[in-house]
């Protein structure tokens, strides 16, 4: 079999996205995936009329790259949209009760979630001067701009829930790049958001929340089956080395040990696996990758008869601030979002347990998880029956934590990569964890590889694969201190 131009190690959505964009440009690409199926963390399962997701359950898109990919793969036709207003209501737990989370300024001013003092502090935001530093945490950034209540009753639950992270440690530039950019550009989040809203009315892509009729596996399966992408299931990369014209990769495949050469090599495995592969070449790069922490997370899927739940289920679900002292970070009302994911008359819920807030929950056995979930949901949602079905997904390393001097780490990694032309990193520890971000980042990397292969700008192949977005100025000395 002929050698490809590019090898991608890791067949999760990050690696598959890079491969898909390369294939669109007519570049021969091979994806090595150690599992027997594509998708990595993403896996949809169907049982008795229920459809559950092991990881991503939906996409929130506003990027043209994603729209282009879905149109080209014809996945557009399989899209299942989340219902719009008023179903996009979210709740927050406050003092053991579900309180609607205000989505507009008027609602916020009337909401019982916030004190008068907290509301007044929010209104002062446009008058807060620019500030911050590259290592500023999410908590520091939000308190500085919006006040403590905004952190505790808005930002913290969103960081602890969807990102499984801890705002006291998460780097604001890495986790909230758009908000940080608004401050830098307009001097105020409120002013910046206002300007963006006006621009959006003038034709920017609309925000859509959706999945696919076959679940999120439809996406990764379609990418892996793309003509031009050679997907090698059951193939584990074990060794890589640079050659005169690119890279040599050795590994075990279902046909035995195998070696392949390519001009470019993309590592899309999680950071610890990438670290193990690069260690013999570059111990510093391996050390930096190994230093990336991951949060453990469990998804407890519960199915009930509709009659067992008193809550009207008029929204997406709820998030739990840490002030409530629960190990539960949130609950998605899956069958309200996607009615076809549960049989008629039944309700499917997905509870997110643990994360950086409560890593010890990974030691719980299944009975403990179910007992705890039922005890939390009972009073919050008015449930007084046992679940009819339960599925539990455990992720020991669910999501990378963009904690500490994260931008310094990425800059240091980028410097190391500068010594290894043709070696690239593309995974969710760099540039965002969402499926949307992975597709957009895959596009950017594929463009760089394409340019390098075309030889039109040879120097670009020596540069790091991509830069953290946005890349604030970070001094070498401040980085060395913090890593």
**Can you give the binding site for ligand FAD, defined by CB under 6 A?**
9-15, 32-35, 40-42, 55-59, 236-237, 268-270, 273, 297, 299, 395, 398-399, 427-428, 433-436, 438
Q: Helices marked H in 152-241 — which ranges?
A: 156-160, 172-175, 177-186, 189-201, 217-224
Mention every residue, 6+ apart, whose C-beta is less than 8 A from residue 51: 44, 45, 215, 338, 340, 341, 342
Sign of CA dihedral 303, 307, 313, 317: negative
Considering the complex, state which of residue 21 and residue 114 has its C-beta at the smaller distance from ligand FAD.
21
Q: Shortest distance, CB of residue 38 to ligand FAD, whole angstroms?
A: 8
Give φ, ψ of 51 to 5 degrees: -125, 115
Residue 259 and residue 269: Cα distance in Å, rounded?
18
**Structural tokens at position 462:** 């020596």
Task: Give the shortest CB-282-to-ligand FAD separation in angstroms.
Answer: 17
Query: Which residue in 393, 332, 394 sits closest to 359, CA to CA?
Result: 394
CA distance to 140, 254, 429, per residue, from 125 (Å): 14, 59, 31
Minimal distance in Å, beta carbon 88 to ligand FAD? 15
**Cα gap 359→217, rounded to integer Å:** 27
- How far, CA to CA in Å, does 160 sit from each of 23, 137, 138, 326, 381? 36, 14, 11, 12, 21
176 or 474: CB nearest ligand FAD: 176
The smaller minimum CB distance to ligand FAD, of residues 14 and 94, is found at 14
Secondary structure (DSSP) of 238-305: EEEEE-SSSEEEEEEETTEEEEEEESEEEE-S-HHHHHHHHTTT-HHHHHHHHT--EEEEEEEEEEEE
If the CB atoms of residues 55 and 479 are measured against ligand FAD, the closer one turns out to be 55
Q: To the nearest whole angstrom, how small is the minimum distance from the Cβ of residue 241 to ligand FAD? A: 15
Q: How far is the CB of 67 from ligand FAD (least distance, A)?
A: 15
Tell me how crowded residue 204 is: count the other CB atoms within 10 A of its CB: 12
CB of residue 446 to ligand FAD, shortest distance in Å: 15
> Least distance in Å: CB of 23 to ligand FAD?
17
* Residue 8, burial from CB neighbour count under 10 angstroms (0-12, 13-18, 19+): buried
Residue nearer to ligand FAD on the CB measure, 114 or 443: 443
CA torsion 185-189-194-199 (nearest 10°) is: 40
CB of 458 to ligand FAD, least distance (A): 29
Where residue 391 falls (left for φ over 0; alpha for ψ -120 to 50; beta otherwise) is: beta
Q: Least distance to ligand FAD from the beta carbon of 450, Å? A: 20
Tokens 């927050």: give the residue. 92
Least gap, CB of 254 to ligand FAD (angstroms) = 13
Least separation in angstroms between CB 373 and ligand FAD: 15
Question: For residues 110 and 206, which CB has a smaller minimum distance to ligand FAD in the complex?
Answer: 206
- The CA distance from 300 to 391, in Å, is 6
Q: Under 8 Å CB-to-CB from 33, ≥6 apart: which residues?
A: 10, 11, 15, 40, 231, 232, 233, 234, 235
Q: Are 210 and 61 in contact (CB under 8 A)?
A: yes
Task: Pick the closer one to ligand FAD by CB: 179 or 399.
Answer: 399
Q: Which is nearer to ligand FAD, 155 or 427 (CB)?
A: 427
Whose Cβ is closer to ligand FAD: residue 240's or residue 479's? 240
Residue among 150 and 399 whose Cβ is closer to ligand FAD:
399
Q: Of 113 and 299, which CB lies nearer to ligand FAD in the complex structure?
A: 299
CA 196 to mean position of chain CA atoms: 23
Closer residue to ligand FAD, CB minimum distance, 57 or 188:
57
Least Å from the CB of residue 206 to ligand FAD: 17
């Amino acid at each position: 079999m002929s050698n490809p131009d590019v090898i991608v190690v890791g067949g999760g959505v990050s690696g598959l996205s890079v491969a898909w964009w390369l294939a669109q440009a007519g570049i021969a690409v091979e994806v090595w995936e150690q599992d027997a199926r594509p998708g990595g963390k993403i896996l949809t399962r169907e049982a008795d009329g229920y459809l559950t997701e092991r990881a991503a359950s939906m996409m929130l898109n506003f990027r043209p790259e994603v729209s282009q990919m879905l149109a080209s793969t014809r996945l557009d036709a399989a899209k299942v949209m989340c219902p719009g207003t008023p179903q996009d209501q979210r709740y927050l737990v406050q003092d053991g009760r579900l309180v609607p989370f205000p989505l507009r300024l008027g609602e916020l001013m009337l909401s019982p979630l916030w004190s008068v003092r907290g509301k007044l502090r929010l209104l002062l935001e446009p008058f807060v001067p620019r500030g911050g530093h590259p290592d500023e945490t999410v908590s520091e950034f939000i308190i500085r701009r919006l006040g403590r209540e905004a952190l505790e009753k808005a930002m913290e639950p969103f960081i602890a829930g969807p990102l499984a992270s801890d705002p006291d440690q998460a780097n604001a530039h890495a986790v909230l790049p758009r908000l940080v950019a608004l401050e830098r550009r307009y001097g105020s989040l409120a002013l910046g958001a206002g300007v963006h809203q006006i621009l959006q009315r003038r034709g920017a892509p609309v925000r859509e929340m959706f999945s696919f009729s076959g679940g999120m596996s439809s996406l990764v399966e379609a990418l892996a089956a793309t003509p031009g992408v050679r997907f090698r299931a059951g193939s584990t990369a074990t060794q890589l080395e640079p050659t005169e014209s690119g890279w040599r990769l050795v590994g075990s495949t279902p046909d035995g040990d195998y070696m392949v050469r390519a001009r470019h090599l993309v590592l899309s495995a999680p950071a610890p696996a990438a670290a193990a592969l690069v260690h013999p070449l570059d111990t510093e790069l391996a050390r930096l990758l190994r230093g990336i922490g991951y949060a453990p997370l469990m998804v407890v899927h519960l199915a009930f008869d509709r009659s067992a739940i008193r809550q009207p289920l008029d929204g997406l679900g709820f998030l739990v601030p840490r002030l409530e002292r629960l190990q539960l970070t949130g609950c998605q009302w899956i069958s309200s979002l996607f009615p076809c994911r549960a049989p008629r008359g039944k309700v499917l819920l997905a509870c997110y347990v643990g994360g950086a807030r409560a890593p010890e929950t990974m030691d719980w056995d299944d009975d403990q998880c179910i007992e705890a979930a039922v005890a939390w949901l009972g009073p919050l949602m008015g449930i007084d029956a046992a679940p009819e079905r339960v599925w539990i997904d455990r992720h020991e390393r669910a999501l990378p934590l963009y904690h500490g001097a994260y931008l310094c780490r990425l800059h240091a990694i980028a410097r190391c990569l500068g010594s290894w032309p043709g070696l690239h990193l593309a995974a969710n520890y760099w540039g965002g964890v969402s499926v949307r971000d992975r597709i957009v980042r895959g596009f950017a990397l594929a463009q760089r590889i394409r340019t390098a292969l075309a030889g039109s700008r040879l120097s670009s192949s020596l540069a790091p694969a991509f830069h953290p977005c946005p890349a604030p100025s970070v001094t070498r000395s401040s980085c060395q201190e913090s890593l």
